[in-house]
Amino acid sequence: MNKKTLRDVPLADQRVVMRVDFNVPIKNGVITDDTRVQAALPSIRYVLEQGGSLVLMSHLGRPAGKGYEAEFSLKPVATHLEKLLGRPVAFAPDCLAADAAAAALRPGGVLMLENTRFYKEEEGSVKKKEGESDEAYQARKAEMKKKQEAMAKKLASYGHLFCNDAFGAAHRAHASTAVIAKFLPIRVAGFLMEKELDYLSRALEKPDRPFVAILGGAKVSDKLGVVRNLLTKVDALLIGGGMAYTFLAAQGHSIGKSLCETDQLDYARAMLEEARKRKVRLLLPVDNVAADRFDANAATQVVGMDIPDGWMALDIGPRTVELFGNEIRQAKMVVWNGPMGCFEMAPFAAGTFGVCRAVAESGAVSIIGGGDSVSAVNQSGLADKMSHISTGGGASLEFLEGKTLPGVAVLDDK
Ligand code: AMP
């Protein structure tokens, strides 16, 4: 990674304004999975050990942007962090009124701000209203951008330097993820950000070969750019999950009631042709678990590449697991995003877990991205066999598309 990190700057007596991704699942005030908090600890501890202090910013969920909503409060996260760190974590209940609390920080002190998304300026976007003229819309947009800058400036005023460790939010050009960088003289990556970028850029820039990408999940349209970009990098591309059936339909197979995006059939044909030209092995399911309805108790049968009328394919079949497994086991590097079927329902989970096992057995450098594949890997009990499990689904997809992430672009080059 060619961006400066916390290691490259003096931190003693410095107040670091750090964007973290504490967007964790919370039920009745209890954090049900603290992976993202744990993932930020190395950066947090490092700043404190070096004699710096911290102002932590994060979003949580999708509040309306009109002020406090208990359900989206970061207070439980601050309390949890306090336990993990074994030192007090002050909490600022309004992220834009924390001047005194920030100024009171001494070396080793930590202040956590309330959810930045309680202000709509954080995202800084406006939607065109029905019947609104273009001019009025543009004027509202410009007004919102100004407000976003003002918010970013305020957040920046709390400290001496900006650290972005929120990989999961780095694909957003928000006040606390990107715009803030304009207002602080030093902008560095945290260690989680560094690790995520190191793995993903290694895959795109100098992959160990054979390099195999596995894509799944519901929709082709979410992964258009990813397929296109990965075809220029990989030796083999394995496509499973709901998105595979648009590809099978594009090849002229009948797919019954399986997911199909008819407006992406030409795209699928173009990608199949592109793979052929580039001599990339693009593999699709050769057999499938079909169900008579979308239900864990549905009648099922294993069918080939053609799905009978009235049936829907909800998982890849055992021969496909073997076919994909053979590619994966020979790989030296694997990138995986998206489940191979509806793994949330037991009868349609074997494909995803089979692929999980193959990745674990391959000994390849393995990078898992995307919320659903990450939870599948966690459920499989094989998480510790993976080299890197990304904390950012959307961000890792955009990175794999070859896009520049706004929250990374603003950081200082080495
Ligand atoms: P995504 O958010 O695009 O990664 O998609 C994940 C979702 O795709 C999961 O909830 C899966 O249940 C669903 N999915 C995977 N395979 C299929 C399939 N063959 N048909 C319908 N949904 C699927």
pLDDT in tens, 174-191: 999 999 999 999 999 999
Q: For the whole model, what pTM was predicted?
A: 0.92
How would residue 140 be classed by pLDDT, with cut points 50, 70 and 90?
very high
Atom of ligand 1 nearest to the CA of 223: 3
**Cα dist from 223 to 130, 268, 351, 385, whole Å:** 30, 11, 20, 26
- Going by pLDDT thresholds of 50, 70 and 90, the confidence category of residue 28 is confident
Task: Quote the pLDDT of residue 374.
Answer: 87
| Other C-beta atoms lying within 10 Å of the C-beta of residue 357 | 16
Compute the distance between CA of residue 193 and CA of residue 388 in angstroms, rounded to an integer. Answer: 12
Determine the Cα–Cα distance for residues 293 and 389; give it in Å rounded to an integer: 33
- From 245, 257, 372, the mutation candidate for ligand 1 (largest count of ligand atoms within 8 A of CB) is 372
| pLDDT tens digits, 303-314 | 999 999 999 999
DSSP 196-209: HHHHHHHHHHS--S
Q: 411: which 2 tokens?
A: 């950081």
Which of these, 119, 115, 54, 108, lies nearest to 86 by C-alpha position?
A: 108
> Of 82, 119, 112, which is closest to residue 98 (Cα–Cα)?
112
Q: Which residue in 242, 246, 215, 217 sits closest to 228, CA to CA?
A: 215
Q: Cα-Cα-Cα-Cα dihedral of 153, 392, 366, 337, to 10°?
A: -140
Structure token pair of residue 311: 């049936």
Active-site residue among 3, 36, 120, 195? 36
- pLDDT of amino acid 116: 98
**pLDDT at position 29, please?**
86
Q: At what angle do helices 350-362 and 318-330 cross, to 10 degrees?
A: 20
Tokens of 81: 């962090």
Average pLDDT over residues 158-182: 98
Residue 307: helix, strand or coil by DSSP?
Answer: strand
For residues 24 and 37, the answer to whether their CB atoms sit within 8 Å is: yes
Tell me which residue of 255, 253, 204 sits closest to 230, measured CA to CA: 204
pLDDT digits (tens, 9 = 90+) for 358-390: 999 999 999 998 778 888 998 999 999 999 999
DSSP string, 247-298: HHHHTT--BTTS---GGGHHHHHHHHHHHHHHT-EEE--SSEEEESSSSTTS
Radius of gyration of the chain (CA): 23
Torsion angle, CA of 113/116/118/119, rounded to 10 degrees?
120
What mean pLDDT comes out for the span 195-200? Answer: 96
Contact 53, 45 (CB under 8 A): no
Tell me if residue 219 is catalytic. Answer: yes
Q: How far is the CA of 365 from the centre of ligand 1 (A)?
A: 25
**Number of neighbours of residue 315 by Cβ within 10 angstroms:** 30
Per DSSP bridges, beta strands 300-303 and 288-291 are: antiparallel
Mapping DSSP to helix (H, G, I), strand (E, B) and coil, where does residue 412 land? coil
pLDDT for 351 beyond 90 = yes
Instruction: Return the ligand 1 atom nearest residue 258 CA.
Output: 20
Indicate if ligand 1 lies below 6 Å from the C-beta of 259.
yes
For 136, the token pair is: 């009025």
- Contact status, residue 289 vs residue 313, Cβ threshold 8 Å: yes
Instruction: Based on the residue annotation, tell me whether 381 is a catalytic residue of this protein.
Output: no
Q: Compute the distance between CA of residue 23 and CA of residue 19 in angstroms, rounded to an integer.
A: 11
**Pocket of ligand 1 contains residue 392 by CB under 6 Å:** no
Looking at every residue in the chain, the average pLDDT score rounds to: 96
